[in-house]
């Protein structure tokens, strides 16, 4: 069922809802009349905000339901239409980033890329991504590169000792 977009407008001490000139459904956005450029931009901004926020909102919603009602992902999947694994991912990322640590300039996917890291590494990489306007793929590559560097550093710091089974002589590699 299509929904007519509305927006609150304050005039003095009252708030009214203005009908916008578009409807939305599960599969479409459609103008209901002619839009001027400012109206078209307003719709684009609203749609972009919805698109960037939805994974956060659903993740927070799932976490609330799990904490409050002990809900299972299968029920949330039936309610939302998302598969259980997607809901688990949304909930995990939302739980790893309390609202005050979420970066509005970066997408949910940016946060997902660093969600498994410790807090300091998350913040460092997200700051880097913000500063350099890194894409999600660029951030993923950076996470992998840093992981390889850490692994390489560990290998260099590790000293292996080989013991000869015949004479017991030890050799450091």
pLDDT bracket for residue 17 (50, 70, 90): very low
- Whether 166 has a pLDDT exceeding 80, the answer reads no
- Whether 10 has a pLDDT exceeding 90, the answer reads no
CA distance 173 to 157: 11
Q: How many CB atoms lie within 10 A of CB 84?
A: 14
What is the chain's mean pLDDT, rounded?
Answer: 84
- Whether 100 has a pLDDT exceeding 70, the answer reads yes
| Burial profile 45-71: b = 16 or more Cβ within 10 angstroms, e = fewer | ebeeeeeeeebbebbebbbebbeeeeb
Domain ranges of the chain: 102-154
pLDDT bracket for residue 23 (50, 70, 90): confident
The model's pLDDT over 129-160, given as tens digits with 9 standing for 90+, comes to: 999 999 999 999 999 998 876 655 555 555 55
Q: What is the pLDDT of residue 16?
A: 47
Per the CB < 8 A criterion, the answer to whether 78 and 26 are in contact is: no
Alpha carbon 132 to chain centroid, angstroms: 18
């Amino acid at each position: 069922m299509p929904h007519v977009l509305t927006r609150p407008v304050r005039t003095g001490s009252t708030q009214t809802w203005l009908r916008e000139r578009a409807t939305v459904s599960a599969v479409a956005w459609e103008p209901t009349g002619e839009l001027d450029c400012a109206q078209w931009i307003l719709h684009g901004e609203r749609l972009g905000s919805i698109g960037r926020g939805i994974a956060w909102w659903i993740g927070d919603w799932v976490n609330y339901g799990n904490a409050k009602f002990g809900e299972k992902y299968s029920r949330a999947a039936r309610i939302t239409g998302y598969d259980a694994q997607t809901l688990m991912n949304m909930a995990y990322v939302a739980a790893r980033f309390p609202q005050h640590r979420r970066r509005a300039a970066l997408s949910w996917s940016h946060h997902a890329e660093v969600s498994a890291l410790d807090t300091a590494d998350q913040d460092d990489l997200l700051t880097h991504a913000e500063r350099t306007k890194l894409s999600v793929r660029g951030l993923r590559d950076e996470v992998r590169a840093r992981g390889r560097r850490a692994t390489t550093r560990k290998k260099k710091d590790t000293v292996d000792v080989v013991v000869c089974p015949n004479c017991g002589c030890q050799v450091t590699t």
